[in-house]
Amino acid sequence: MTYQNTRTFAEQADLNDPLASFRSRFHFPSFGGSEMIYFTGNSLGLQPKAARELLLEELDDWAYWGVEGHFHAQRPWKRYHEFFTESAARLVGARNNEVVMMNGLTTNIHLLMVSFYRPTAQRFKIVCEQKAFPSDQYALESQVRHHGLDPSEAIIEVAPRPGEHTIRHEDILTAIDRHKDQLALVFIGGVNYYTGQVFDMQAITKAGRAAGAFVGFDLAHAAGNIILRLHDWEVDFACWCTYKYLNSGPGSIAGAFIHERHALDKNTPRFAGWWGYEKSTRFLMQPGFDPIPTAEGWQLSNAPVMSMAPHLASLRIFDEVGMEALANKAQQLTGYLDFVIKNISAETTGCDFEIITPEDPKQRGCQISLLVHGRGKDLFDALSKAGVVADWREPNVIRMAPVPLYNSYTDVLRFGQILTQALK
């Protein structure tokens, strides 16, 4: 695709876009009568129009059936989480017995660390990325302290080199190798939330496992954004939220992946609850935990149906489109945003900005992080006033996600025009 920063180009690209029609499946917040330029699908995805109906069906079934809805609802609540299994497995490249939807993301990080961070006097270190999302930092630190260890000794953060913004892949592998005799866990975001950098999860998993550690990924910014093959990559565990690229509503249900070499093993240590208990005998209510020999064996509580219903609406769309088609458009559309910004940058004097997201299509999904030198939040505020919804991170980074499912080339073009105005 040879990009041009012109209306003719953007409109033609939209006409040729095989996914263009999916935009109409979502509610767009409006701005003075027209649609906002919504570039924050990496923070809270837009509402699928079908979500309301699926949620109302559950409310209706609850009203009609009361407790009997567990068995007689259109989608019986007793096995509600099972309605996600196949789609969730497809989404992250897993086998059906390796995934389960449960809890929130940070809760799942903790639960999976119970299983996969079991430090010994010899092996207690965790390799992670510097400036991971704060919740992940707090989870790692508190887990380390929980085991009576000192985070400053146990947590090894891999940082970008001086003067650089993203982490070099070889530096992660070097850190794994350097600490290999003491390494218990490698835990990294599959896509860094700040820079949008995609990590080579396959190579990291291989190196971490060869060092004798467990390897897990936080896929908050990866699920629904890039193609994942968790099973084939032999990742030990992973978890993700569903309200970002997966458009399932604020605080919606999260996902967990446990590779079948651990999930099928009833002896894999874990915290237990009744919903992880063998289904055929669960209601005998007997003492002694007997886990379901799949990822479902990590469930604690019965399914929060009201928070899960919108996720069902969303996954149906992902099944219909397929990650291959989405990832294709993501490359094109992100490339266009990159092009338009650079095009403006060249012709606008007085403001210097820099894209800190990797340029290599293999190392990014649908996010562009823009570092604005010499300008502060006033620039961002000017964009907001003109109908752009992006995300501001102190001190001076604007994060934008042109989401392939519902953003258009025209959105990117209009954004470019607004940015040009705001810079003047």
Ligand X SMILES: *Cc1c(COP(=O)(O)O)cnc(C)c1O
Positions that interact with ligand X (CB under 6 A): 104-106, 133, 135-136, 189, 193, 218, 220-221, 241
Residue given tokens 């559950």 in the structure block: 58
Distance set, CA 176 to CA 55, 171, 200, 204 (Å): 45, 9, 14, 9
Nearer to ligand X, 25 or 81 (CB): 81
Residue 331 Cβ, how far from ligand X at the closest point, in Å? 21
Residue 165 Cβ, how far from ligand X at the closest point, in Å? 17
Nearer to ligand X, 220 or 403 (CB): 220
Residue 193 Cβ, how far from ligand X at the closest point, in Å? 4
Residue 147 Cβ, how far from ligand X at the closest point, in Å? 21
**CA-based angle 209:211:214, to the nearest 5?**
40
Nearer to ligand X, 54 or 139 (CB): 139
Q: How far apart are alpha carbons 374 and 362 in whole angstroms? A: 30
Burial class of residue 151 in the structure, from the number of CB atoms within 10 Å of its CB (0-12 exposed, 13-18 middle, 19+ buried)? middle
Nearer to ligand X, 135 or 417 (CB): 135
Nearer to ligand X, 187 or 233 (CB): 187
Nearer to ligand X, 119 or 189 (CB): 189
Residue given tokens 């501001």 in the structure block: 392
Nearer to ligand X, 61 or 129 (CB): 129
Strands 183-189 and 125-129: parallel
Nearer to ligand X, 124 or 194 (CB): 194
Residue 250 Cβ, how far from ligand X at the closest point, in Å? 10
Distance set, CA 221 to CA 64, 103, 246 (Å): 38, 17, 10
Residue 396 Cβ, how far from ligand X at the closest point, in Å? 20
Q: Which residues pair with 372 in a beta bridge?
A: 353
Nearer to ligand X, 193 or 237 (CB): 193
DSSP SS3 for 272: coil
Cis, peptide link before residue 395, omega less than 30° from 0? yes
DSSP SS3 for 278: coil
**Host H or E run for residue 343:** helix 323-347
Residue 194 Cβ, how far from ligand X at the closest point, in Å? 9
CB 357 within 8 A of CB 368: yes
Residue 307 Cβ, how far from ligand X at the closest point, in Å? 12
Residue 162 Cβ, how far from ligand X at the closest point, in Å? 24
Among candidates 382, 321, 400, which has minimal Cα distance to 48? 321
Backbone angles phi, psi at 196, to 5 degrees: 80, 10
Q: How far apart are alpha carbons 340 and 145 in whole angstroms? A: 47
Burial class of residue 8 in the structure, from the number of CB atoms within 10 Å of its CB (0-12 exposed, 13-18 middle, 19+ buried)? exposed
CB 387 within 8 A of CB 37: yes
Instruction: For residue 68, give the amino acid letter.
Output: E
Nearer to ligand X, 220 or 370 (CB): 220
Burial class of residue 359 in the structure, from the number of CB atoms within 10 Å of its CB (0-12 exposed, 13-18 middle, 19+ buried)? exposed
Residue 187 Cβ, how far from ligand X at the closest point, in Å? 11
